[in-house]
Amino acid sequence: MPKISIIVPCYNEQEMIPLLYQALDDTASQLPDHEFEFILVDDGSKDATLSEIRTIARTDPRLRYISFSRNFGKEGAIYAGLKNASGDYAVIMDADLQDPPALLPDMVKAVEKEGYDSCATRRVTRAGEPPIRSFFARMFYKIMNKASEVDMVDGARDYRLMTRPFVNAILEMPEYNRFSKGIFGWVGYKTKWLEYENVERAAGETKWSFWKLLKYAISGIVSFTTVPLQFASAFGILFSLFAFIMIIVIIVRTCVYGDPVAGWPSTICVIMMIGGIQLLSIGILGQYLARTYLEVKDRPIYLCRESNFELLDERQNPIIYHDFSNEQGEEQK
Ligand code: UDP
Ligand code: MG
């Protein structure tokens, strides 16, 4: 019987946990010829998410959880889940039920009957989203598809089902600056895309502010393309060429018409513009350098504080197995 691991990153999702569990349980019963494992990754939540998860984990052995020592971000949570999934297939799903679990039987069919390695989903509408956010999201996908070799689908969700080879391929990419949409595209394999209408969050609120998204987008661009660096070089060449021509023009003009002192405002403008472009280029360079620095330090992508199963990840050395039979778990050492 093939086993499906459903990985759910949870950050401050206390209202969602019972609803989520209900939905997962229902989905599991729709696929009776499959074994299930639910891996809930508590990404350092500050509310009662962890104790909600613990309560359910006590009643259902299929539910496994990993709780981080602090908030490491959704990417870290996805990585932790994949690293510790034991299933033949792994599914990544949001805790807020914006990723309809009802699609799961179709996703399983795509890999089992139609020979795909992965089945991903995309939203065809962005209803319920602020227009400015949709606009920047569209721009981002346009830029990414032009600038990088990775094929990125507009509206793609992280919600997808992967077969074991696909999961292993992703685990082969243990980079610190993780951008899953890019990583999924980069590894290749045959992916089927399912489309669905945007679903509003069932409870709680979005964890992504505009700035968080913008930083994430920049991280995506820097992780998957070096085109901005080429921009800097292109600017440099263009301006040197322009300056060279201008020098010749000025020398010729001075020889012919003499040397009246004029035009220093325009000189200042040119200096400022060149200065600006230089700073911009150094900034772009800095983005790459900063990421190289973080990558070289080779810090762990997440740290686990507590879990109810033995982690498979050998680098997460403090493997704590807590059996919190009393609710005051947090007070224990
Ligand atoms: N999430 C997380 N860590 C974070 C932010 C979000 O694990 O730092 C999880 C969150 O609990 C949810 C998923 O990532 O399961 C998607 O977050 P959200 O629904 O807020 O994003 P949106 O759907 O608005 O893009
Ligand atoms: Mg959501």
The pocket around ligand 1, CB under 6 angstroms, is made up of 9-11, 13, 43, 71, 73-74, 77, 94-96, 98, 206-208
The preferred substitution site among 11, 91, 200 for testing ligand 1, maximizing ligand atoms within 8 Å of CB, is 11
Of ligand 1's atoms, which has the minimum distance to the CA of residue 13? Answer: 11
Torsion (CA) 203, 67, 158, 160 in degrees, nearest 10 = -100
CA of 253 to the centre of ligand 2 (A): 64
Ligand 1 atom closest to 73 (CA) = 8
Q: Count CB atoms within 10 A of the CB of residue 209.
A: 9
The ligand that comes nearest to the alpha carbon of residue 137 is: 1
Residue 238 to residue 232: CA distance in whole angstroms:
10
Evaluate whether 53 touches 39 at the Cβ level (below 8 Å): no
pLDDT at residue 9 tops 90: yes
Residue pair 130/136 in contact by the 8 Å Cβ criterion: no
As a whole number, mean pLDDT of residues 304-328 equals 61
- Cβ distance 176 to 183 under 8 Å? no
Nearest residue (CA) to ligand 1, atom 24: 206
DSSP line for 28-41: HHH-TTSEEEEEEE
Q: How many CB atoms lie within 10 A of CB 154?
A: 15
| Cα–ligand 2 centroid distance for 74 (angstroms) | 11
Query: In angstroms, what is the span from residue 25 Cα to ligand 2's centroid?
Result: 20
CB 111 within 8 A of CB 89: yes
| Predicted pLDDT at 283 | 82
Question: SS3 of 214, please?
Answer: helix
Q: What is the pLDDT of residues 194-240, one digit of tens each?
A: 888 777 776 677 777 788 888 888 888 888 887 888 887 788 788 87
pLDDT for 162 equals 92
pLDDT tens figures, 276-311: 788 888 888 888 888 888 888 888 888 888 888 777
**Residue range 61-78, pLDDT digits in tens:** 889 899 888 888 888 999
Say yes or no to pLDDT of 316 above 70. Answer: no
Cα 282 to chain centroid, rounded? 26
Per-residue buried b or exposed e for 119-150, using 16+ beta carbons within 10 Å of the residue's own CB? bbbebeebeeeeeeeeeebeebbebbeebbeb
Q: In this predicted structure, what is the pLDDT of residue 127? A: 67
Question: Among the atoms of ligand 1, which is closest to the Cα of residue 43?
Answer: 7
The answer to whether the beta carbons of residues 290 and 303 sit under 8 Å apart is no
For ligand 1, pick from 15, 45, 74, 97 the residue to mutate: most ligand atoms within 8 Å of CB.
74
DSSP for residue 277: H
* Distances from the Cα of 276 to the Cα of 229, 269, 270, 273, 289, angstroms: 16, 10, 10, 5, 20
Position 333 pLDDT exceeds 50: no
Give the torsion through C-alpha atoms of 36, 41, 47, 51, to 10 deg. Answer: 50
Q: Are 7 and 93 in contact (CB under 8 A)?
A: yes
In this predicted model, which residue has the larger pLDDT, 329 or 57?
A: 57
What's the rounded Cα separation, in Å, for the pair 209 and 220? 16
Comparing 313 with 39, the larger pLDDT belongs to: 39
pLDDT digits (tens, 9 = 90+) for 71-113: 888 889 999 999 888 888 999 999 888 888 888 888 888 888 8
Tokens of 139: 């721009």
Give the pLDDT confidence of 153-203 residue by residue, as tens digits. 777 888 999 998 999 889 888 888 888 888 888 888 888 888 887 777 766
- The Å distance, Cα 95 to ligand 2 centre, comes to 7
pLDDT band at 329 (very low <50, low <70, confident <90, very high): very low
pLDDT in tens, 10-53: 998 888 899 889 998 988 888 888 899 999 999 989 988 888 89
- What is the pLDDT, as a whole number, of residue 331? 44
Structure token pair of residue 177: 């600056």
Residue 23 Cα to ligand 1 middle (Å): 17
Query: Which pLDDT score is estimated for 41?
Result: 93
- What's the chain's average pLDDT? 82
The total of other beta-carbon atoms located within 10 Å of residue 251's CB is 10
Measured from the Cα of 8, ligand 1's closest atom is: 15
Question: Is this structure's pTM higher than 0.85?
Answer: no
- For residue 94, how far is its CA from the centre of ligand 2 (angstroms)? 6
Using most ligand atoms within 8 A of CB, pick from 96, 99, 180 the residue to mutate for ligand 1. Answer: 96
Q: Which atom of ligand 1 is nearest to the CA of 94?
A: 15
Question: Which atom of ligand 1 is least distant from the CA of 93?
Answer: 15
| Euclidean distance between CA atoms 134 and 190, whole angstroms | 28
pLDDT of residue 244: 77
Q: How far apart are CA 320 and CA 188, in angstroms?
A: 35
Q: Quote the ligand 2 centre to 90 CA distance (angstroms).
A: 19
In this structure, the strands spanning 63-68 and 304-307 are: antiparallel
Give the closest residue to 166 by CA, choosing from 202, 116, 213, 200: 116
